[in-house]
Amino acid sequence: MSVSLYYTAKREYPISEQEWDTCQKIVEHYIAEYPLGEIYEDFCVYDLDAETEVNVIFEGATKLPLDEGEDHSMKVLDYWAECLQEIIDLLINAQWHIHVDDADITSYFDYPE
């Protein structure tokens, strides 16, 4: 059994090349600086060239470890949530849907005005 963090951003206009490159740099930074032991799964961003819903500019999912206990799993969730928050801050005017399996956690993040 696994639990995953899912994230999707939609916007009326596409992600720019500069925004995409910056998103990739943010993700690479968090993967390189991961402080919680061996990475269970990298922060995964789906390929935008794949078939997806209309107006999706960013989406992905990351599995969370369950085998090291709930405390560790929550620390990992918090870490990847920090990564996601930086991306949220970057992608102005995006509408986000963020959840851990069936639990919607979209309201736990801050969104730029």
Domains of the chain, residue spans: 3-108
Give the percent of the chain with pLDDT over 90.
Answer: 83
Alpha carbons 64 and 59: distance in angstroms, whole number: 17
Query: Helix or strand or coil: residue 16?
Result: coil
Query: For residue 100, what are the β-bridge partners?
Result: 5, 103
14-64, pLDDT tens digit by residue?
999 999 999 999 999 999 999 999 999 999 999 877 667 889 999 999 999
pTM: 0.93
Structure confidence at residue 69 (pLDDT): 84
C-alpha to C-alpha distance for 21 and 98, rounded to whole angstroms: 21
Tokens of 100: 């851990």
Return the pLDDT at 66.
86
Compute CA distances 79 → 18, 27, 113, whole Å: 24, 11, 24
| Cross-strand partners of 103 | 100
Q: 6 - beta bridge partners?
A: 61, 99
Does 13 have pLDDT greater than 90? yes
What CATH code is assigned to 3-108?
Answer: 3.30.70
Q: Comparing C-alpha atoms, which of 63, 94, 95 is closest to residue 80?
A: 63
